[in-house]
A and B are shown apart, each in its own frame.
Chain A
Amino acid sequence: MSVAALSPAERERRLAALQRIWDNGPGLPGQLTAVNHSTIALRFVVTGLAFMLVGGLLSMFIRLQLAWPGAQVLDPERYNQFVTLHGTTMMFLFAVPIMEGFAMYLLPKMLGARDLPFPRLSAFGWWCYLFGGLFLYSSLLFDAAPDGGWFMYVPLTDATFSPGKGPDFWLIGVTFAEIAAVTAAVELIVAVLVTRAPGMDIRRMPLFAWAILVMAFMIALGFPPLILASILLELQRAFGFVFFDPALGGDPLLWQHLFWLFGHPEVYIIFLPAAGVVSMIVPTFARRPIVGYAWIVLALVSTGFLSFGLWVHHMFAVGIPLLALAFFSAASMAVAIPTSVQVFAWIATLWAGRPWLRLPMLHILGFLVVFVLGGLTGVMLAFVPFDWQAHDTHFVVAHLHYVLIGGLMFPLFAGLYYWLPLVSGRMPSESIGRVAFWLVIIGFHLTFVPMHLTGLLGMPRRVYTYSPALGVEWLNLLSTAAGFALAVGIVAILVDLGLCFAHGRRARANPWRAGTLEWAVPTPVPTYNFASVPEVDGAYPLWRDRGLRERAARPDGLLGDPVHGRRELLGTGIVSARPEQVVFLSGASWLPLACAGVVTVMLACFISGRYLAAAACVLPLVALFCRWAWTTGWAGAPATVDAGQGRVLPSQYACRNAPGWWAVVITMLIIGSLFASLVFAYFYLWLGSAEWPPLGMGDGRPGLGHYAILALLALAWLGGATATAALRADPRRRRRVVAPALVAAVAVLAAALLQLWLPAVSPGPPQAHAYASVVWTLAGFCAVNLLVAALLCLQVAARVGQRLVDAARPLEWRVAHAFLRYAVGQAVVGWAVVHLFPVLQ
Chain B
Amino acid sequence: MTRSRRPRRLLWIASPFAVWALHFVLVYSIQGLVCARGWPLVAAWGGMAVVTLPAFAAVAWLGLRAWRRAQAADVAGEKRFAARLVAMLSLLAVLAMVFTILPALLLNPCE
Which A residues fall within an 8 A CB radius of B? Answer: 193, 201-203, 217, 294, 297-298, 301-302, 304-306, 308-309, 321-324, 326-327, 329-331, 333-334, 338, 574-576, 687-688
Contacts and interface: CB of A to CB of B under 8 A. Distances in A.
Given A574-B9, A687-B32, A202 B109 contact: no
Contacts of A308: 21
B89 interface: yes
4 shortest interchain CB distances as A-B pairs:
A326-B103, A305-B17, A201-B78, A203-B81
Contacts of A333: 99
**Majority SS of interface residues in chain B?**
helix
B10 interface: yes
Interface in B76-111: 76-79, 81-82, 84-85, 88-89, 92-93, 95-96, 99-100, 102-104, 106-111
Interface string B14-47: 1001101100100110011101110000000000
7 contacts: A201-B81, A297-B85, A327-B24, A327-B27, A330-B102, A330-B103, A333-B99
Contact of B104 (A201, A323, A331, A687): A323
A679 B78 CA distance: 39
A575 B82 contact: yes
B3 interface: no
Contacts of B84: 294
Contacts of A688: 36
A202 B111 contact: no
B13 interface: yes
B14 A309 contact: no
A575 B81 CA distance: 10
Contacts of B36: 687-688
A309 B10 contact: no
A331 B100 contact: yes
B78 to A, nearest CB: 4
B2 to A, nearest CB: 18
Interface string B42-82: 00000000000000000000000000000000001111011
Tier of interface size on chain B: 35 or more
Contacts of A576: 76, 78-79
Given A202-B10, A688-B36, A321 B109 contact: yes
Given A321-B35, A323-B103, A330-B99, A301 B13 contact: yes
B81 A294 contact: yes
Given A297-B85, A321-B35, A330 B14 contact: no
A304 B92 CA distance: 13
A136 B31 CA distance: 40
A257 B109 CA distance: 20
A202 B31 CA distance: 40
Contact of A302 (B24, B33, B89): B89
Given A203-B78, A327-B103, A302 B17 contact: yes
Contacts of A327: 24, 27-28, 31, 100, 103
A334 B99 CA distance: 8
A87 to B, nearest CB: 27
Given A202-B78, A321-B35, 14 more contacts: A202-B82, A298-B92, A301-B17, A304-B17, A305-B18, A305-B20, A321-B111, A323-B110, A326-B103, A326-B107, A327-B24, A329-B103, A575-B79, A688-B36
